[in-house]
Structure formats: C-alpha cells, structure tokens
Amino acid sequence: MRTTTADAPPPAVRRPERRGAELALLVPAVLIPLYGYVEVGLARRGAVPPGVAGYGGTLAGLAGLAHLAVRLRARNADPLLLPIAVLLNGLGLVLIYRLDLQTPGRAAAPTQMMWSALGIALFTVVVAALRDHRVPARYGYLSMAVALVLMVVPVFFPAVNGARIWIRVGAFSIQPGEFAKILLAVFFAAYLAANRHALVFTGRRVWRLRLPTGRVLGPVLAIWAVSVGVLVIETDLGTSLLFFGLFVIMLYVATGRTGWIAVGLLLAVAGAAVVGSLEPHVHGRVTAWLHPLAGTTTGQGAGQLAQALFAFGAGGLLGAGLGQGHSILIGFAARSDFILATAGEELGLTGLTVLFLLYALLAARGYRAGLALRDPFGRLLATGLAAILSLQVFVIAGGVTDLIPLTGMAMPFLAQGGSSVVTNWIIIALLIRLSDAARAHHPARPETP
C-alpha cells in the first residue's frame, strides 16, 4: 500500500536537550536589538536614548521568562526557535521606535512592547498548559467554528483603509483574522489527518491526479471556500491568499500528490484575475503593481510603493545606517506594511538578507519538527504553522519589492500590530511544543516474532 507524506515513519532519534545553547543564543538575541536602540538614539538625537535601560531590561526579562517556561515544560524543544523569535521581535521594536522619532505624538513602540509582553505571556501559558500537542485535534470542528465567527464579525464594523478586518471599540482594536489562521490550521490538520487514507485511495482518477470523493474532500473544501469568500468581502486579500496557500500545502502533505500544487497555482491565478478585475480596491493595487512609478511620471508624486523602491535603492549593499534613512516619507504604513523598506534603506541588502535568513531558519525548524513527528496530526500542524510564517513573509516581501501586488499584511514580529505579534508568539509556542515531542526520546519498539 502506498504511504503518504504524513504517514512516512521517521527514524527514532535521541537528541540532547540543548537548553544551555538556547540560553546562550538568547544573549545576542537581546544585545543586538539593544545595540540598535542605542544606535538609533545616537543617530537621531546625538545621545543615548533615556529609556535604554527599561527597553533592555524588559526585553531581557521577557526572553528569560519564555526560556524558563521552555526549560521547565519543553526541555527537548528546538533551541533555535525562541532566540530567533526574540531577535526578530526586538529588531521590530527598534525599527518602530526609529520611525516614532520622526512622528512626534504618534509613539507606537511602547504599545508594541506591551503587545509583545502579552504575546510572550500567552507563549508561556501555551507551553506550560499544552502538555500533549495532539490535544487540539479533539477540537478541530470547534476551532473551525470559532475561526469562522472571528472572520465574520469584522464585517459589521467600519472599514479601515479600505478593508473590514478590524474590530474597534474606542481606543482598543483587534484583528480577529490573525487568530483565525491558527484555528484553521488546527482544523485542516485534524480533518486531513483523520481522512488522509480516503483522500489518497478513493475517488476518480483524472490523468495523473486522483480526485477525492466529494464526501471526503467536500467539508474541508467548503470551509476553505467560505473563509476565503468572507475575506474577499472584507477585501483582506493578503489573508485570503495565505489561507489558500495553507490549504494547498497541507493537502499536499496529507496526500503526497504533487498535482495538488499545480491545481492550487492554477486556481490562485484564476481567482486573482477575477477578483483583480471586479473589486475596485484590489484593481487599484494591481494597477500600482504594474505601474509603481506612474505618479512620478505624471507629476502627482511618488506613491507608497515607489517610495519603498526608492528606499531599497538608497540602501544599497550596506545601508545608510540605523536612524539615517528617509523611509518615513512612505507615510502611515511605514511602521506596518512597509517596515521592510525601512530595514532595506538603513540596513541595506546585507541586513535584508540576514532578516530573510532568520525567517527561513524559523520556518525550516518548523518543517523539520513536522518531518520528525510520528503522528499525522502533529506533522500536518507543524507544517501548517511553518507554512503560515513562510507564506506571510513571501507575500509581504513580494508586495513591498513589487514582485506581486500589495496585500496589506504585517511582517511577522517586525511590523507594528498587536494582534499579529500575539498570534506569532502563539505559533512559536505551538512549534516549541511540537519540536519537543519530535526531539523527545522514543524507545524503539520490540520486534514482533
């Protein structure tokens, strides 16, 4: 009988705990952002920022709290996941603080630090409370129902910058779709793990692709279609693209059929063409993607995308130096959608390469945990969570560099966004739990006579 990617048994291995290595890596993960914080203050004001002790102490305390939770509750976890997340979160706080200095009265770094603290607090709760990564599989349908509710609720609130993805009550705001992506990953993993054999071995064969029966694939396909449809109504196209990619990747991992990748790409291109031609907000973004310098040639001034491209060009190989760029000209989105342009201008291509390598390493360790896990649900969930991170980075970086149309998402850990940073810390907590199970010692089964 043919085995699927989710069924392939990994070799049983015993790995050292590596908690000392994690603690050693956390030291530079805190010191590098602290150096950047001081460098920004010297560049912009010629003096060390007055809050440097508080910033460094808070970041070190949060990193220590997260490390303590891992040391006590997930001793076999991957030692790279937590330091990379702390480093990216710290660098994001530095870039937001740097942009704050040029917009008096709109300081976002303290709020981002508060959300980061909440995210790490939830990280410790998940690592401490979730002792078995297979427990969420019992609540797959409940996760799906909650995710749909979270995505529908913003429809009843006013649009912000053309998208209905926010719930705003006074000064408080939250983006429910960020949390929905984790819940949908849990549902996809639970459903596909339970039905993977039916997906592979039943249904009609069309050329080299066996199409599963509607009874097997229908429920998960319907849930995916509803979620994407809601997001299209909300014009949250970045998240809809993320959900589509997540669904295709997890379906491929569950079935081992490469044909699903080709089908997914064709459907994505067809869907993008239809939505791009019918929805004015999306049509405008496609037009900006095709003609990013149109405003400069017609005398209307450079738009956000053109300013971002100028920032990347000005950064060159080594960058202008922290605090010495002009990416604030991008406008209100400089801290969120376009914060990568600030990194490109002030850290150069070298700094951008380091950032992308950090993201790649973070996602790769998630995929590695998935490959080492023995149970299909754990494999699919680890793959799905790592896919969320890698797809989000690709969609955002591609939009800011004019590779694909802009989608309006937040760069994981780096950009301003409370819901985003909290969600990313929950993802890291789940990957910590999954990698702990993957790296734990599994005694070899005695051979049966």
Distance in angstroms (rounded) separating the CA atoms of residues 192 and 24: 39
Q: What is the pLDDT of residue 40?
A: 93
Are 92 and 151 in contact by the 8 Å Cβ rule? The answer is no
pTM score above 0.85: yes
Average pLDDT (245-258) is 83
pLDDT over threshold 70, residue 3: no
Domain boundaries, the chain: 135-440
pLDDT interval class at 417 (50, 70, 90) = confident
Q: What is the pLDDT of residue 239?
A: 76
Q: What is the pLDDT of residue 97?
A: 93
Are 370 and 386 in contact by the 8 Å Cβ rule? The answer is yes
Q: What is the pLDDT of residue 294?
A: 83
Of 3-12, 270-279, 283-292, the range with the lowest mean pLDDT is: 3-12
* Span 96-139, pLDDT tens digits: 999 998 887 778 899 999 999 999 999 999 999 998 999 999 99
Are 223 and 144 in contact by the 8 Å Cβ rule? The answer is yes
What is the percentage of the chain residues whose pLDDT exceeds 70? 86
pLDDT interval class at 50 (50, 70, 90) = confident
Nearest to 12 by CA among 447, 364, 439, 301: 439
Of 12-16, 54-58, 196-200, 396-400, the range with the lowest mean pLDDT is: 12-16
**Max mean pLDDT range (175-179, 208-212, 232-236, 421-425):** 421-425
Of 329-343, 353-367, 431-445, the range with the lowest mean pLDDT is: 431-445
Distance in angstroms (rounded) separating the CA atoms of residues 241 and 159: 20
CA 300 vs CA 293, 295, 310, 327: distances in Å:
10, 5, 16, 19
Enumerate residues 6+ apart whose C-beta is below 8 A from 269: none
Q: What is the pLDDT of residue 161?
A: 67
Q: What is the pLDDT of residue 7?
A: 57
* Span 20-41, pLDDT tens digits: 899 999 999 999 999 999 999 9
pLDDT interval class at 212 (50, 70, 90) = low
pLDDT over threshold 70, residue 14: no
Better pLDDT: 43 or 302: 43
Q: What is the pLDDT of residue 12?
A: 54
Q: What is the pLDDT of residue 176?
A: 85
pLDDT over threshold 90, residue 385: yes
pLDDT interval class at 444 (50, 70, 90) = very low
What is the percentage of the chain residues whose pLDDT exceeds 90? 46
DSSP 8-state class, residue 105? T
Torsion sign over Cα 241, 243, 244, 246: positive
Average pLDDT (347-363) is 95
Q: What is the pLDDT of residue 326?
A: 86
Assign residue 168 a region (left: φ > 0; alpha: ψ between -120 and 50; beta: otherwise). Answer: beta
Q: What is the pLDDT of residue 115?
A: 95
Residue 133's identity, in one-letter code, is H
Of 69-83, 220-234, 305-319, 415-429, the range with the lowest mean pLDDT is: 220-234
pLDDT interval class at 203 (50, 70, 90) = low
Residue 245's identity, in one-letter code, is G
pLDDT over threshold 60, residue 241: yes
Q: What is the pLDDT of residue 195?
A: 82
Q: What is the pLDDT of residue 449?
A: 39
Query: Tokens in use for 186?
Result: 């849990």
**Max mean pLDDT range (207-216, 287-296, 377-386):** 377-386
